[in-house]
């Protein structure tokens, strides 16, 4: 049994320690917001936070997450109100939406590490997340919007 803490909730999981965290989260724990896109850390659809870092759960063995803090898109905020989520809605970013759990989880790390990112910072941070529908311009815009929302939150 492997002890996991996902979205502040403790789980005991009976899984091969080599099983990628992605499949444990999706198929065993049942949180399907984290997506499978490529399986080889190319597309970023599977990004979750492991102790706050945007790891790719498709290549992260569940054993690495044992006893660590895992946050998935479902746990990013209580009411879909993380600044990135709010901004994503405001700017109508998604099309099919499949990649955006990962996009938002990556953006959340950027926004934490750099409250005032430039376009270049955004490109550097989001380069690992593929959007096949091509919503990149909106992702850039939404991250700027989120940064602004975040600054307002801090002020108030």
Which 27-86 positions form the footprint of another protein (CB under 8 A)? Answer: 27-28, 30-45, 47, 53-56, 59-61, 64, 72-74, 76-77, 80, 85
Q: How far is CA 18 from CA 54, 60, 63, 78, 129, in A?
A: 19, 9, 7, 31, 24
Residue 144 interacting with another protein (CB under 8 A): no
List the one residue from 2, 88, 149, 150 that touches another protein (CB under 8 A). Answer: 88
Beta strands in 14-151 (DSSP E): 47-50, 53-56, 69-71
Tell me how long the chain is.
156
For another protein, give the closer residue by CB, 5 or 114: 114
- Which residues have CB under 8 Å from 41's CB, separation 6+? 56, 58, 59, 128
- Please report how close the Cβ of residue 91 comes to another protein at its closest, in angstroms: 9
103-142 residues near another protein, rule: CB under 8 A? 104-107, 109-110, 113-114, 121-140
For another protein, give the closer residue by CB, 34 or 150: 34
């Amino acid at each position: 049994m492997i002890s996991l803490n996902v979205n502040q909730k403790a789980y005991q999981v009976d899984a091969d320690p080599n099983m990628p965290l992605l499949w444990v989260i999706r198929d065993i724990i049942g949180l399907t917001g984290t997506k499978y896109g490529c399986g080889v850390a190319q597309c970023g659809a599977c990004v979750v936070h492991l102790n706050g870092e945007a790891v790719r759960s498709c290549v992260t063995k569940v054993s690495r997450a044992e006893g660590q803090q895992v946050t998935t898109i479902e746990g990013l905020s209580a009411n879909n109100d993380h600044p990135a989520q709010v901004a994503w809605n405001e700017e109508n970013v998604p099309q099919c939406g499949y990649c955006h759990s990962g996009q938002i989880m990556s953006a959340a790390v950027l926004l934490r590490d750099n409250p005032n990112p430039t376009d270049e910072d955004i490109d550097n941070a989001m380069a690992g997340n593929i959007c096949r529908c091509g919503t990149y311009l909106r992702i850039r815009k939404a991250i700027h919007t989120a940064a602004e929302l975040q600054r307002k939150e801090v002020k108030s």
